[in-house]
Chain A
């Protein structure tokens, strides 16, 4: 497989945060195809110590946020993102990094990205479901391409100190942000074909130095 990054040595270990609401099988199988060893966990200490952590995302902002709180996963996630350690947040995961969301008024996100998540404006079809262009001005781990989305809410503008990819639906919204080894995608890299696999393997490569 052309995107497989682990040609020799022991497989990279990726810890996928179990948020209880998300269907995580797609994420686990995507990393398996890349030759990495991915497993689910809701152990705060494991999340603190893992070389790579994925915060996946399907579900409801309020329910997922509550689950992170109850399982004491909030602090280790906030810490590792603040320290710039390899962390990938997908879809709702990206939204959870922000301060709050119109989806669940009054519920606090992780607050590591100073922004609020809002809804798409009428009269667009919602959820924003399917493949859309992702445009990156300044390629890093993120590159331009086509990605699969399934989201009802979105980040409207680039948060300070993060580089961003944008996508157009009605207007332009922020479809991914990256800083150091922290990557957050509104789309699903695990469902975005060979392009998505390329992105996941670049993210793994990016973290190799620190892992």
Chain B
């Protein structure tokens, strides 16, 4: 069987992990390589590295981080954040990313998805889709630029279009739930999972293993977890054993 993936996400700015990762037993919890190795050892099925640098210098550091993380990581690595051109995606793949995630740039220029997909294959290209419930119009609209811009674009239609253009996976973040600990937006997961054939990685709002199980039940193939892991509340291994007790088969 294809096991559901538990994916920790590291936010990296200027070469350092931000959002305060707190591992009990790490000397330097700001070092991306140390954090990546810790998650690898906990049994993470994949790692997402999100570059939240705001400057070109910071982005240069991100390539170094990808190279260093790649050297120690024997599981898949997805890199996103500020991937704006074909060249920047190629640089990340060359540095050691297995997949690149595109967000705002793909909304601005959807042909980026097809160009990259033709060259590297769909399994290499992830659409990072940030969606928020909207007041009027479609049930969920696409938001970009870390939630600062509401586009009015129908999230379900955008997911379908992106998959047609060659995105091989959708990293779906609920803007409403992100950071709340209230659980994933299950209706959003269901709606997007029903709109496309590519796998969905659910993100935004997880607090405990029941939230993870609910997202998988709603149609996600993988779940992203950030704050619950960084805060040291739990580990990937603990989440997996709880899921397993609840009847969700995970990779041993």
Contacts and interface: CB of A to CB of B under 8 A. Distances in A.
Q: Are A and B associated in one complex? A: yes
A133 interface: yes
Identify the 3 closest CB pairs spanning chains A and B, nearest first: A25-B96, A150-B123, A23-B93
B4 interface: yes
A201 to B, nearest CB: 12
Interface in B134-163: none
A191 B199 contact: no
Contact of A193 (B1, B75, B98, B124): B75
A131 B97 CA distance: 18
Interface string A11-47: 0000000000111011001101100000000000000
Contacts of A58: 98, 120-121, 123-124
A172 B197 CA distance: 20
A197 B74 CA distance: 8
B165 interface: no
Interface string B47-70: 000000000000000000001001
Interface residues of A, number: 41
A169 B2 CA distance: 7
B94 interface: yes
Contacts of B40: 193
Given A191-B74, A194-B74, A168 B1 contact: yes
Given A29-B96, A60-B121, A130-B199, A125 B221 contact: yes
Given A33-B74, A190-B74, A197-B74, A129 B96 contact: no
Given A23-B93, A23-B120, A197-B74, A125 B198 contact: yes
Given A130-B3, A132-B3, A133-B1, A23 B122 contact: no
A183 B64 CA distance: 33
Interface in A98-133: 123-133
B252 A126 contact: no
Contacts of B70: 25-26, 29
B98 A191 contact: yes
B95 interface: yes
A130 B222 contact: yes
A41 to B, nearest CB: 16
A151 B94 contact: no
A59 interface: yes
**Chain A CB within 10 Å — which of B40, B46, B72, B123 has the most?**
B123
Contacts of B14: none
B221 A21 contact: no
Contacts of B124: 23, 58-59, 150
B118 interface: yes
Chain B interface bracket (under 10, 10 to 19, 20 to 34, 35 or more) = 35 or more
Contacts of A93: none
Most buried by A among B71, B72, B76, B252: B76
Interface string A66-89: 000000000000000000000000
B98 A129 contact: no
Nearest to B67: A25
B115 interface: no
A54 to B, nearest CB: 16
B199 A125 contact: yes
A23 B116 CA distance: 12
Contacts of B98: 23, 26, 58, 150, 188, 191
A152 interface: yes
Contacts of B2: 128, 130-132, 149, 169
Contacts of A128: 2
Nearest to B7: A130
Contacts of B120: 21-23, 58-59
A51 B91 CA distance: 30
Nearest to B92: A23
B12 to A, nearest CB: 17
B169 interface: yes
Given A150-B98, A197-B74, 16 more contacts: A23-B98, A26-B77, A58-B124, A60-B121, A63-B118, A125-B198, A127-B198, A129-B168, A130-B3, A130-B4, A130-B199, A130-B221, A132-B2, A132-B3, A146-B3, A168-B1
Given A25-B94, A127-B169, A169-B2, A146 B251 contact: yes
